[in-house]
A = this chain, B = another copy of it.
Amino acid sequence: MKDKRGKSGNGGGTRPTISQVAEAAAVSRSTVSRVFSRPESISEPTILRVREVAAQLGYTPNHAARALSTGRHRNIALIVPDVANPFFPPIIAAAQEAAETQDYCVFLGSSGESAERELKLVERLSGQVEGMILVSSRLADEQILELHARQSLVLVNRDIERIPRVLIDSAAGTLEAVAHLAQLGHRQVAYISGPSGSWSNAQRQRAVRRGAARHKMSMRTIACQAASFEAGRECVEAILTMGTRAVIAFDDLVAQGVIAGLAGRKLSVPQDMSVIGCDDVLGAATIPPLTTVSNCSVDAGSVSYRLLMDKLESHVQSDVRYVMSTHLVVRDTTDSPSGRAAGK
């Protein structure tokens, strides 16, 4: 138990403790403690003196020790299915930034789309955080509920009653997308699905179906292996044999994959095929710029953080269900089914 942090030198400067500051400042440890946690109850002069001494000793409160005593860690955990998926980073950034302003730290977990890993992460983390934000959780409802019994939770893109959640309602935008296609003259549309456990995927698929019905279009679904560029590319085979001239993809990555696959077959977008993405993670950064269902996913990060804090502060809870709408952003990957051919 002695010499915990190695010698001096690098990588292990032994941090000064509250006692050392207290001694050096000739006050009690409590006083030092209060200077750093509730300064309003301490006289101006002593505050200054303690601060002075602390600074020159390089003292910094030990959050772990503090947590042990208060039960408040000032840490939160953020779990996502895959950090590398461009949909999540903006959310992560926003949440972390929001946390930072309140001096909270955030643990990041990436489950690799695996419910099992997600569960492990959650359990491992649960001891050192005050609450967690589960983004697009792949866990089963029951697992989440059980977790919720002993941990403050906020969900993103997962709709479970009694748990605060922020939902990115892609239905609205997806409906617009179908309408847009219909207006262009398309009579059929294909939805290229995403991860099976995904709430967003289910929601989008439903929306496409509903929209298609409303506009008397035929609708089919193509199962995509994963939410990736490669998977999208591999779908073109199926799309082509299906004979559709318009597809709505689970997300922008898949859409880009489809476009690339099409290009590989000398088919171009939007002349030969209209392609619509989802999430708008690529912005206009594609060529041609992708028509897509845009959302304010960044806000999902800050809002979910706020929700978590609200929950932590007020123990009385109403059933918060924060829905963020989406809308279609028409860029250059959609056209009428005849396309350029019409000009011939």
Contact = CB atoms under 8 A, between A and B. Distances in A.
A14 to B, nearest CB: 8
Given A64-B67, A287-B263, A110 B96 contact: yes
Interface stretch (A35-43, A48-56, A253-261): A253-261
Nearest to A60: B127
Contacts of A256: 285-287
A6 interface: yes
Which of A117, A256, A259, A286 counts the most B-chain CB atoms under 10 A from its CB?
Answer: A286
Given A64-B64, A315-B6, A83 B73 contact: no
Interface in A1-48: 1, 4-7, 9-13, 15
A277 to B, nearest CB: 12
A247 to B, nearest CB: 16
A211 interface: no
Which of A9, A64, A127 counts the most B-chain CB atoms under 10 A from its CB?
Answer: A64
Chain A contact residues (Cβ within 8 angstroms of B): what range?
Answer: 35 or more
25 contacts: A1-B69, A9-B149, A10-B148, A11-B152, A11-B153, A11-B312, A11-B315, A12-B315, A13-B151, A60-B126, A61-B127, A64-B68, A64-B128, A65-B68, A68-B68, A83-B83, A86-B86, A88-B89, A89-B89, A97-B110, A105-B125, A106-B108, A256-B286, A256-B287, A286-B286
A131 interface: yes
Contacts of A126: 60
Q: State the number of copies, please.
A: 2
A197 interface: no
Given A71-B5, A117-B100, A287-B259, A11 B131 contact: yes
Interface in A73-102: 73, 75, 78, 82-86, 88-90, 92-93, 96-97, 100
B69 A128 contact: no
A162 to B, nearest CB: 8
Contacts of A120: 100
Contacts of A72: 4
Interface in A95-124: 96-97, 100, 103, 105-110, 112, 117, 120-121, 123-124
